[in-house]
Structure 1
Amino acid sequence: MTDSTLGAVSATAITNTRVFDGHSLSAPTTVVVQPDGRIGDVSADAVVVGAAVVNAEGTVLLPGLIDCHMHLKGRESLETLATYGVTTGLDMATWPASQFQSLRGLRGVADFRTAGMAATSQGSTHSRIPTYPDVALVDSPDKAERFVEVQVADGVDYIKIIADLPGPTQDVLDALVAAAHARGLKVIAHAALYEAVRMSLAAGADMITHAPLDRALDDATAETMLAQGTVFIPTLTMMKGVAANLTAAGVPGVSYAHAHESTRAMHAAGVPVLAGTDAYIGSFTRASPPYGESMHDEDAYIGLLERAMPPYGESMHDELALLVDAGLSTAEALRAATSTAAHAFSLDDRGAITPGLRADLVLVDGDPLTDIAAARRVLRVWCGGIEV
């Protein structure tokens, strides 16, 4: 279905379904999807004259899932996300700006927010990508202001910094975060190594994405994150794949156990944990390995990363299972992909099934509070009130 054929959306009444309220399931009730794409009445006795009725007996209705770390690759990526119940994708690096600008405002597919291009520095892994924008290679504090200015002009929603080593120095990280915060933008730091996490927190990053593979985060890190209100997006699906592939290739000092333990410890300490996958389907360009000099064959290294890249949509359900395995309850894991995610990214119009919010809804077969795998059994999906 194309945007031109979507037309006006009639009201829909989803009846006899149990609604996930962030903590538990309601008794069987009715949820009304209004023609404006918002949630209307949510009650057992809701009546909408002329509404299309979906008898959802035996099902559970979830808020649309939010993938807190993915990468856009055209409209097809948004379509695929939606089929798995992911109604919002938070893009963590896409360029040129025209690529994401052309996707704004699409209807009947997953919505998105974007970081545009991510800041890094000369000599980093990402700087070796031939198409990487020069303005994103921030090698001195004075260049940080220019980078953020360009991002704001392009219409990004937040700033991403690739903090892994080799990468930006501490003074550059400090300047990037300060420039972003001065413009009211949150900062997400890519940090798959312990030292990169430490440096990112010292700079005041709002979120850490990826969990380190070289060393587990400790109590002191948790205390810092709690004190600063930092959010953690461990991308366990991606880290598990990368660790397995690098270990098989003989790269020393890399273990998924560090990522798992970091997630367990941060959650136990009360640090907000979000569900993100690093989903992307495409090819890397040649880049230098960040996990030690033992991996000299760059083509082999890139092949390992390509095989680790999670697929759109499906990987969200892998991530939920890994979060539960790391100590989150099923309800906490679902919140990590709904209300907690929406709050962290200031998406005040979604993340819950409440009158007036955007009608991003996922109907599933079974009870994901009993078994998180039930969230995989997607029956129907609405994105902004439009069934996909």
Structure 2
Amino acid sequence: MTTTTVTGVEVFDGTELLDGTWDVTFDENAVTALSPAGTHRAEGPAVDGAGATLLPGLIDAHVHFLDAGELTALARAGVTTALDMGTWPPPFVAALRASRAGADIRSCGAPIAGRGGPHARIPGFPSDSLVSTAEEGRRRVAARVGEGVDHIKLVLEPDGAGGPDAATAKAVVEEAHAAGLRVVAHASHTGAVALALEAGVDVLTHAPLDAVLAPDLVRQLGARESGHVVVPTLTMMRGVARNLGNPAVDYAHARDTVTALHRAGAVLVAGTDANRAPGVPAAVPHGSSLHDELALLVEAGLSPVEALRSATSTAAAAFALPDRGSIRPGLRADLLLVTGSPATDITASRAVRGVWTAGRPVDLDTP
């Protein structure tokens, strides 16, 4: 088994930038040692970490897939875990899981949506994912559980826009929770956010473009005891606003909502909505877009350290991934080495020098 040591490197451990420089040793199972620089005898190959920072591999909490090459693109950008929010059919998802082509994935399979909403008109969207009643919602959850999904994705729309109604949404949440699964709600409109909170979902994805979220909803999402998590996908929201060119659909609403949520103490997790699907409102590239997302989160008021947490330890905790998101002995060796210090200058996260997934080096050069 190959053992590697990154020497003399600054370390952001998923929570904070550690004082001084460190030697970090890992194999194909896990990080094995984290020691002050020069105090640990390197075993196997050594990587010079001078002038660089070692971070946990990044987690993108909202992606979609069309092919295994996107897993490679993610890993080359330092994204070692991707949370899929809508990919089908099940054999394709299984193939992605088994491919070991780059990023490790967790998937919801196909989302559950309403028969009259926009998702029902997406080319190729599976008809057996569309629901109109609470009983249909329960059956769809049971089907996804049978497919071995990691979480449930529920597409919610404001009242009258064709999404699942409150009773159906609650039934989906109850059935998923009974199966031990989190529910992630697509809620890109302020009205959908209100419905998501009423239904009791665990994670809300997308910061609305129609208006800044109302103070009462911000307070609910900011209450840590509520357990809610928000994945704003600012990269996607910015792209949608630009492409629509509608003054009523304003990226500033999404940005200012994130600012308000951050001030209220909400749990914010980085996700991009990376996808190349035909007909989507904005194409978002896999991998590089997470670095855009981190910068947009900082522009919205997070510190660089808070933004990095949103893509490492906070994301891992939000999606119950206890083996990653931090650098410490015993955890999976998903690691990102960058030139400079993203804990003080978030743009340094883009300067990728090395990536390892489960201790294996990622080829950064082959086309």
What TM-score, normalized to structure 2?
0.94
Question: Could you tell me which of 10, 15, 19 is aligned with 1:18?
Answer: 10
Alpha-carbon distance, 1:25 to partner: 3.3
Question: How far apart are residue 217 of structure 1 and its match?
Answer: 1.1
Distance 1:144 1:47 in 2: 57
- 8 Å CA contact 2:31–2:332 kept in 1: the answer is yes
Match of 2:240 among 207, 228, 242: 242
CA distance in 2, matches of 1:268, 1:106: 41
Other-structure match for 1:338: 312
Task: Answer yes or no: is 1:187 the counterpart of 2:183.
Answer: yes
Q: Is 1:139 aligned to residue 132 of structure 2?
A: yes
- Of the three residues 78, 91, 107, the one matched with 1:85 is 78
C-alpha distance in 2 between matches for 1:242 and 1:25: 38
Instruction: Find the aligned partners of 2:325 and 2:98 in 1 and give their Cα distance.
Output: 19
> C-alpha deviations, 1:97-120, integer Å up to 9, x for none?
111111224436110101110000
The amino acid across from 2:258 in the alignment is T
Q: How many equivalent pairs are there?
A: 354
1:124 aligned onto 2:117: yes
1:40 correspondence with 2:32: yes
Instruction: List alignment gaps of at least 5 residues for structure 2.
Output: 363-367
Structure 1 residues 1-388: aligned runs within 5 Å? 9-21=1-13, 22-34=15-27, 36-44=28-36, 45-49=39-43, 51-107=44-100, 109-164=102-157, 165-225=161-221, 226=223, 227-247=225-245, 251-284=246-279, 305=281, 308-388=282-362
- Secondary structure of 1:88 counterpart: strand
TM-score between both structures, scaled by the size of structure 1? 0.89
Distance of 2:162 and 2:138 partners within structure 1? 21
Question: Per-residue displacement from partner, 1:73-121 (whole Å, max 9, x unpaired)?
Answer: 2210110000100000100000111111112244361101011100001
8 Å CA contact 2:8–2:48 kept in 1: the answer is yes
Identity %: 46
Distance 2:26 2:181 in 1: 32
CA offsets per residue over residues 115-149 of structure 1, 9 Å max, x none?
A: 11000011111112342222211110011111011
Cα distance in 2 for partners of 1:359, 1:16 equals: 18
CA distance in 2, matches of 1:222, 1:65: 27
Q: Which piece of structure 1 moves more, 185-194 or 127-136?
A: 127-136
Of the structure 1 ranges 346-355 and 123-132, higher mean CA displacement relative to structure 2 is found in 123-132
Cα distance in 2 for partners of 1:108, 1:133 equals 26
Partner Cα separation in structure 2 for residue 243 and residue 108 of structure 1: 33
In 2: Cα distance, 1:252 partner to 1:30 partner: 52
How far off is 1:252 after superposition? 4.8
Distance 1:281 1:195 in 2: 27
Shift, 1:15, TM fit: 0.6
Any stretches of 5+ residues in structure 1 without a counterpart? 1-8, 285-301
| SS state at 1:104 partner | helix
Residue 159 of structure 1, CA deviation: 0.3
